[in-house]
Structure 1
Amino acid sequence: MRFKDIIGQEKGINYLKRSIQNKRIAHAYIFEGPKGVGKAQIALVFAKAIQCKNYYEDVCNHCSSCLKVNTNNHPDIKMIEPEGKSIKNNQIEDFQQDLLRKPYESNKKIYIIKDANLMTDSAQNRLLKTLEEPPAYAVIILLSTNANSFLPTIKSRCQILKFHPIGEKIIEDILVNKYGMQTDEAKVLAAFSDGSLGKALKLKESEEFKIKREETIKVIEKLLKKDQLMVFELFEFFQQNKAYIDEILDFMLFWFRDILLLSQTESDKFLVNMDKKAALQRHMNYIAYNKIGNIIHIIEKTKNDIKANVNFQLAIEMMLLTIQEE
């Protein structure tokens, strides 16, 4: 892996490359961004670049240092991960003891702390002591979904780099060009990726994702046939899949948005569910054009109600009944 292999995070990567080129590497960084946007990959390539013996704008991938990083065997690059649900005080204590020993074969010792926002309060306070007076050879990289989870005194001693979700079209193109996927399938995965290539790749391998999508389309089909007694039977599907409710409601949102697009433009160019165009056209015939926006609104409201801990059964049954009435 090299800097040039990481797509969609050019701003942050260029900043790190300049810091190496100008010999202005900080003692501590916070890499902030949603899961799956590539924070860990960027941190590892940054560490690899710092240690590379032939670095020039990117890692060489051939020197002894790069080869050791590629096999997770570099003595001066360490990864710290949560034990269970948190990073504990004793883990930071072990890290501090290791940091006292000078680098084995380079000028820097680099520590990457994954899910650093999961540090306990005592672990954060212990880490703060190191950040206040770090050895000259130390580089500490905290990976986090939320920099505000750290003590203000930790944040003030770190350079914060924000990594943002990647555009759907970029993810779609990567899935097609790098992973050989069909455009129809890539569009669906990109839409549900939340801007995370990592999530898109997990969905690519997930049979459960594909099954849930098919089941949700069948539920929509039954719902649009307007058998009012069916609503209470359909609720069982949502109850059984309560753990996946966000995903299922997103399936529904994209489905009805696709119906709206088809009814407005008669074009499939911007459809997410392009592989299901025939079903979309069939469902379009069940709904008056001016009602589709109302259906999208009620699904979005249901998502927000469930996040706000409104009674689950009441929220879902109201959504289903409202969709039928529309």
Structure 2
Amino acid sequence: MSAPHVLVLTGAHDPHADRVRGLLAGRGARTTVFDNRDHLTSAHFELAYTARGLTRRLLHTASGTLDLDGLTALWWRRPSPHAAHPGLTDPAVAAYTAGESEHLVTDLWEHLPCRQVPARESVLRRAAGKPSQLALAAELGFEIPETLIATRADALWDFANRHDGRIVTKPMGKPWVENLAAGHTVTRHCEIVPARDLAYAGALRFCPVIAQQYVPKRLELRVTVVGRRVFAAEIHSQESNRSAVDWRRYDFEATPYGVHRLPGEVAGRCLAMTERLGLAFGAFDLILTPDGRYVFLEVNPNGQWLWAEELTGLPISEAVCDLLLEGA
């Protein structure tokens, strides 16, 4: 019987992938790393069909040829966007070829018959939708913050008035804006809306945001579901003014972290939601309120976990390794 072989889709400098690849190697598994941007430059695909159908799916790289139908698992970590060959100087031609590469590779990954973690890319896209996450969370019994998603200023003003101005906003999708001309990136966290900013609510017509009532916090929780295992890390974000509204404004020296004993019914809801979304992995953000209520914020279908593992000792990487080898 041949050794398990895992294809890892990720970009350069991914410590999460490096940690798990080391664990996989220790168990005798082979790993191959591929980044989408390498297609058309240092790597090439070959798909062949006869009149009766598909005969081979191969990936050629500098290190050799990989039979994609021989994979036991594909791990969709964090691959880079598709890129054109650097030899193409016409922007329109470069954009077209990058798009053609994306069509090929996206469809190829979608139909590989091996286990895919956290899920197939089409499932990951659907699972990341925050409006549908909120509806599903409430259906499964989670408490969620009162929420408004709109592009009308008067709707936001009414929402703010109902909550005495104690509201926060956060982005619908990716939490950063890249300014390529200036060469820097602006990160958009969850933020309290000052009264003066409500005067500019008319700008909502240009871009929707999620507005929510501010939920008081005793703790914030990052709950990582890997297969049927649940790992809960507690974040004492209220110990630091920097992290009080959003723990991702890290203040490691002032913010204690620890393992959290999650009630069985809350863990069960996390497992049920991960399953309903079609995922084998999910990183949940929850709030524990001062009066002991667990409030759902969102789930990242492909969230980071290494920081929680290193700060709390939770064996999340081992669980990811188990999941990638399951059934091999």
Q: Do these two structures clear the TM 0.5 threshold for a shared fold by scoring above it?
A: no
Bigger radius of gyration: 1
TM range, normalised to the smaller chain?
under 0.3
Higher fraction of helix = 1
